[in-house]
Amino acid sequence: MREATGKPGRATDGAATARLALRAQGIHKAFPGARALHDVDFDLLAGEVHGLVGQNGAGKSTLVKVITGAYDADAGVVEAFGEVRHGNPRARQRSGIAAIYQELTIVPEMSAAANVFLGRPHRRGLFVSRSVTHRAFEQLTTRLGLTIDPDARAGSLSVANQQMLELMRALAADHRILIMDEPSASLGPAEREHLHETIRRLREAGVATVYVSHNLGEVLALCDRVSVMRDGELVATEPADRWTRERLVTAMLGHVVQEPRSKPRRRADAAQEALRVEGLCVPGVLDDISFTLGRGEILGLGGLVGSGRTELLRALAGANAEAHGRLFVRGQQRPWPRTVRSALALGIALAPEDRQSQGLVLSMSAGANVSLSDMQTVASGPVLPERRRLRRAAEILAPLAFDATRLREPASSFSGGNQQKLVVGKWLHRRPDVLLMDEFLRGIDVGAKAELLAVVMRLAAEGMSVILVSSELEELVEGADRVLVLARGRLVGEVDHAGASVERILRLAFDVANPAGQGPAS
């Protein structure tokens, strides 16, 4: 363990240690092939709202999960109110830490009051007492300045009010530490303001809050201190009034190296249009998106989590029946694809975000997965000769350095990188004109990443157009000919390869995140 002094994340004020609500020290956490947290120290004071910001994948969510106990740290200690915490989330919840995630844990069929006192009902003898429950519920609503009908079915309440139920649940259990992960992402401006007001009230009552958000304006306005994470480390903690949005972004990026692009891009065919999208809308998610994609172009799609990148790809791939807009394929207008099969008929294929739940049939062999999208081409009539199928799969996977002797093993027995090679192999087999790749380098070791990126480059050189979504912006900057930036369902900017940098993309993505209230309604 290294010396604590001078490390960010630590409360420097000696007197403050008395009011320490939570202290995490020397936290390390690694996932197979990736380091998630490295020697993180994090302090939370009683009666403090502590902002936690960073790029996607910087380690915020992992830190939150270590604190709540959803993950066990590989090394390091978490103390709450001076006591070391270990064990499962339930044990830790009893210890006074409550976490509220973007996905709420409301039981929609139960009443609002029942949800608040879930697991700790007010009883009279053997029975749940309605009157005592209602009284306790009203005390809480008064305290938070809310008006919620205790008998309302929780599922019928607005998302904001459901969130308030979770807050009330934490208060009812007398939790002194509250962790909120992107709580405002699904809220409108007025609701967001109300949430802030509620958090301030809780602060008055001595509750300590960790507030994780991408919305920098909101963080600066609400929080007392803000910590910045980058690449699994906590790089800076300072009082909010000493931060500006500019400085936060710079801290998230680290030292930005403005290296000149290594190789000039081939944009030979970009003049030839592969795809043109006009006015794409997905109700509540995407708003009036228009862009073109050249033949053989690699188009990057940048933006924060929840900005609509995945939905854009799914809409193009025919996986979202609510999508509407005008689609031109090689200059000809086509009806917007409503099914995956119709998108495939237009030559558009999607390599989805979650390879395990959407990309692969884990119970089938590696070879079977590679031919899954294109069984007809290796079949003779209805018959699918296994040997021909394996030979073809081996040919396709050869440039990906995939061990062809393992093609008969089930897809579930492979590592993340090898599984992703199977997903890519599946589409190499089919050879679509336009390949949409969603977070396809996530959770993959460096070597496999390089191999996969090289394959994408080669495909593009051969004329396939690629749309690449990645939260790791360095990859976009490195790999894409052009990067479009999405924020809150809108296209907010475009940078070409020469001008692309992680910083420019992030500034575009974050600038719309402010002021706090902007964004599509709902």
Partner 1 sequence: MTASPTAQQPRPRLAEKAVYYGAALLRTYGIVLALVVLVAVVAGSSPGFATSTNIANLFSQWAPAGIMAVAMTFVILTGGFDLSIASGFSLCAITAAGLGRTEAPAVAFLAALGVGLAIGLVNGVLVAGAKINPFITTIGTGFILNGIALVATGNVAYVVDDPGFGTIGAGRWHGFPYSGMVLVVCLVVGGVVLAKTVYGQSVYAVGGNAEASRLSGIRVGATVGSAYVLSGLSMGVAGIITASQLNSAQANIDPDVVFDVITIVVLGGTSLAGGVGSMWRTAVGLGIIATVSNAFSLADVNPYYQDIVKGCIIVGALAFDVYVRRLAGRARARAAGPTA
The residues that bridge with 466 in the sheet, in sequence order, are 298, 435
The size of the interface with partner 1 (CB under 8 A), counted in residues, is: 38
Q: Over the range 381-416, which residues count as b (16 or more CB within 10 Å of their CB) and which as e?
A: eeeeeeeebbebbbebbeebebeeeebeebbeebeb
Shortest Å, Cβ 89 to partner 1: 20
Instruction: Give the DSSP per-residue string, 396-420.
Output: HHGGGT--GGGTTSBGGGS-HHHHH
Among 386, 461, 474, 515, binds partner 1 (CB under 8 A): 386
**Binding residues among 26-65 for partner 1 as defined by CB under 8 A:** 30, 32-33
Tell me if 263 contacts partner 1 by CB under 8 A: no
Composition of the chain by helix, strand, coil, percent to 5: 40, 25, 35
How, if at all, do strands 490-496 and 286-294 pair?
unpaired
C-beta closer to partner 1: residue 152 or 404: 404
Over its C-alpha atoms, the chain yields an Rg (Å, rounded) of 25
d(CA 489, CA 312): 9
Q: Which is nearer to partner 1, 187 or 349 (CB)?
A: 349
Which CB atom, from 84 or from 375, has the smaller least distance to partner 1? 375
Structure tokens at 156: 């019928």
Out of 255, 263, 341, 387, point to the residue binding partner 1 (CB under 8 A): 341
**Restricting to residues 271-330, which ones interact with partner 1 according to CB under 8 A?**
317, 319
- Can you tell me which of 117, 137, 243, 414 binds partner 1, judged by CB under 8 A? 414
Residue of 10, 61, 59 whose CA lies nearest to 37: 59
Stretch that binds partner 1, among 101-109, 252-260, 288-296, 342-350 (CB under 8 A): 342-350
Is 404 a binding residue for partner 1 by CB under 8 A? The answer is no
Phi, psi of 510 (to 5 degrees): -85, -30
CB-wise, 158 or 376, nearer to partner 1? 376
Q: Which of 276, 279, 281, 275 is nearest to 489 (CA)?
A: 281
Closer to partner 1 by Cβ: residue 173 or 362: 362
Q: Which amino acid is at 284?
A: G
Beta carbon nearer to partner 1, 110 or 379: 379
Does residue 359 touch partner 1 according to CB under 8 A?
yes
Interaction of residue 216 with partner 1, rule CB under 8 A: no
Which residue pairs from 131-140 have beta carbons closer than 8 angstroms and sit at least 24 positions apart in sequence? 136/172, 137/112, 137/113, 137/168, 140/116, 140/168, 140/171, 140/172
Closer Cβ to partner 1, 227 or 369, answer by number: 369
Which x/- pattern over 321-340 shows residues binding partner 1 (rule: CB under 8 A)? -------------------x
Interacting residues toward partner 1 by CB under 8 A: 30, 32-33, 317, 319, 340-341, 344, 349-350, 352, 357-364, 368, 372-373, 375-376, 379, 382-386, 403, 406, 413-415, 418, 426, 430
